[in-house]
Amino acid sequence: MGKVFSLNIHELPEEKIMATTLKPVDVVIIGVGWAGSILAKELAQTGLKVVGLERGGNRRQEDFTLPGIHDQLKYDRRLELFENLSRTTLTFRNTTREVARPMRRHGPFPWGEGVGGAGLHWAGWTWRMTPWDFQIKSQTIARYGEKMIPEDSTIQDWPITYDELEPYYDKFEYTLGISGKAGNLKGEIQPGGNPFEGPRAREYPNPPLKRSYGETLFANAARELGYHPFPMPAAQMSQPYKNPDGVTLGACVYCGYCMNTGCEVMAKAVPQTTTLPVALKTGNFEIRTHAAVTRINTSGNRAISVTYIDGQGRELEQPADLILLTAFTWSNTHLLLVSGIGKPYNPATGTGVVGKNYSWHNALPYIPLYYDEGHIFNPFMGAGALGTVIADFQGDNFDHTGLGFIGGNILAAIAMGHGPLTFQPTPPGTPSWGSEWKKALAYYYTRTVQIIGLHDHLSYRGNYMDLDPNYRDIYGNPLLRLTYDYGPNERRMSEYLVSVGDKIAKAMKPSKYAVYGLDAHFNAGAGYGIIHQVGGAITGTTPANSVVNKYLQSWDVPNLFVIGASSFPQISSFNPTGTVGALAYFAADAIKNKYLKNPGPLVPS
């Protein structure tokens, strides 16, 4: 069946190989991670025949059993569950004046691959954005005037409001069984929660996780300073939980092996423990693994099929009525560009939209605090989203008059489970090897607390994605090229947030500490560890300012939806996945209740 596709690009024949065309299906989903698995469940439950094409391998809950899962080298250092970069990667440069080079190894933001996507090995910080985040531009102008927005910033309001998305946040949180404490129930501020959050209809489905000792020190210091500490909303179960779809999850045992791998007690909400089993049980959902989609084929303004290469190297064409692109920010943008769907963004002229408004945020600040006798933190105990947070400096929760920047951060003391292969705290001034290093590490490994902030990052004219002219993937497509650096708003914000971090660190009374702000430039060789890439296929009110409408439907090709953080016009201080999940449910609702009844554009252009 079909021709054998050569994986060696140098042997590619001149003429295009004819792909084998498969039997049409109702829906094709490209990428089976968080977004893909939610859409698969929602649509398969309506009786539609859904095929999920996933370029990585199968990953089953059974693959994460004792004791093999407790292996830091395999999961944290060799990144077993992440994208295999020998097949594809991105190229990177800080500005358009440079030649982009490939990210040959994972560094700043390793991304997922395989069934479950990065959702399988995420840490589980499960946030909602605030009402302000959806209206950053208009709210900033209203309070501070146009001049507060840097000249070359391209931020824009979302076409969706917090209130519209609230029921879908709720659905995502109840499906996952998030452990947390509400701070605002229908407008009433609740003690112990985040008083700055948007109003929620009901409490979290599970109470907060237990608090580690380091968090307690942080919470006490924050309260002394008049701030409002609250537990991180976590995708780890504080107690056994049965979700609305009837799936059961176990209680977290704080084993500390959580991020970068799966969970052996099914205490972490991941696609395998929530959405996928329900989708598969319908009998209407088929996952094809090792299926790398290389192109979405269109005819006029319709997507007719997708082309993919399977594990045997065959090129196959899968026709479908509805195509959902849920392959994470990189591939969402890449597949639109290589398929010629939508107008590519051009930073020189500011025209075009595909690839526009890439943003990301770093840990700002990063604060290790070193204690002496009388304090032991046992950093190997923990859970991926175990943390205590303040949002007093998030978004517009404080007056920015005269500060010269907008936005801020969430700041969290964390106990995510930090084994010694990746956590080697030694106070500044310690040599990086030799007896002195050894002695400092032996002493401080159990005596160090970490605080990290995540910050707002504006989008800018010069931060974007397009196709690289020099490098290709093994399928013959050009690599995605990322051009990115911190902007003026972030650099000014860094100084301010470092001073806030310093105040809190002092109040925690360690014997030593350090507060790190942003480096001079984003460095693709550093291991920052934050996988929050957004933009490239942003949502907006018109085809001129966006790739997709508020339902994440392509303006150009109405039977194509592009779902994920690629739709964010800019990143907020919050980890994106809570919003990705809410948007996935929002889009699924629009498809079921609007699109299927009357296939066509859901918003007139």
Ligand X SMILES: Cc1cc2nc3c(=O)[nH]c(=O)nc-3n(C[C@H](O)[C@H](O)[C@H](O)COP(=O)(O)OP(=O)(O)OC[C@H]3O[C@@H](n4cnc5c(N)ncnc54)[C@H](O)[C@@H]3O)c2cc1C
Q: Give yes or no for residue 11 binding another protein (CB under 8 A).
A: no
SS3 per-residue string spanning 144-184: HCHHHCCCCECCCCCCCCHHHHHHHHHHHHHHHCCECCCCE
Site for another protein in 486-505 (CB under 8 A): 491, 494-495, 498-499, 502, 505
What does the DSSP 8-state code read for residue 234? B
Of 498 and 552, which CB lies nearer to another protein in the complex structure?
A: 498
Say how far apart CA 437 and CA 420 lie, in whole Å.
14
| Contact residue for another protein among 252, 292, 335, 411 (CB under 8 A) | 252
| Contact residue for another protein among 530, 543, 592, 599 (CB under 8 A) | 530
Q: Give yes or no for residue 263 binding ligand X (CB under 6 A).
A: no
Nearest CA to 485 out of 384, 399, 358 is that of 358
Q: Give yes or no for residue 4 binding another protein (CB under 8 A).
A: no
Least distance (Å) between residue 30 CB and another protein: 22
The length of the chain is 605
Options 26-34, 87-95, 194-202, 301-309: segment touching another protein (CB under 8 A): 87-95
Helix (H) or strand (E) holding 137: helix 136-144
The dihedral built from the CA positions of residue 341, 297, 337 and 586, taken in this order, carries a sign that is positive
Q: Residues near 16 by Cβ (< 8 Å), separated by ≥ 6?
A: none
| Contact residue for another protein among 176, 235, 255, 263 (CB under 8 A) | 255
Say how far apart CA 287 and CA 296 lie, in whole Å.
18
Binding string to ligand X for residues 517 to 546, with x set by CB under 6 A, is what? --------------x---------------
Q: From the list ligand X, another protein, none, pick the one residue 35 interacts with, judged by a Cβ distance below 5 to 8 Å according to partner type.
A: ligand X
Q: Give yes or no for residue 119 binding ligand X (CB under 6 A).
A: yes
Other beta carbons within 10 angstroms of residue 301's beta carbon come to: 14
Other beta carbons within 10 angstroms of residue 310's beta carbon come to: 18
Nearest residue to ligand X by CB is 33
| Contact residue for ligand X among 34, 172, 227, 285 (CB under 6 A) | 34
**DSSP β-bridge partners for residue 411:** 390, 453
Site for another protein in 48-77 (CB under 8 A): 65-68, 70-73, 77
Options 52-60, 143-151, 170-178, 210-218: segment touching another protein (CB under 8 A): 210-218
- Residue 103: how many CA atoms within 13 Å on its side-chain side? 27
Least distance (Å) between residue 402 CB and another protein: 20
Q: From the list another protein, ligand X, none, pick the one residue 225 interacts with, judged by a Cβ distance below 5 to 8 Å according to partner type.
A: none
Q: Give yes or no for residue 118 binding ligand X (CB under 6 A).
A: yes
Binding string to another protein for residues 399 to 428, with x set by CB under 8 A, is what? ---------------xxx-xxxxxxxx-xx
Whether the CB-CB separation of 405 and 493 falls below 8 Å is answered with yes
Copy the structure tokens of residue 415: 């106990």
Q: Are strands 409-414 and 387-390 parallel, antiparallel or unpaired?
A: antiparallel
Q: From the list ligand X, another protein, none, pick the one residue 54 interacts with, judged by a Cβ distance below 5 to 8 Å according to partner type.
A: ligand X
Copy the structure tokens of residue 121: 């090995």
Whether the CB-CB separation of 84 and 113 falls below 8 Å is answered with yes
Residues that bind ligand X (CB under 6 A): 30-36, 53-56, 112-114, 117-119, 121-125, 259-260, 291-293, 326-328, 331, 385, 531, 564-565, 575-577, 580
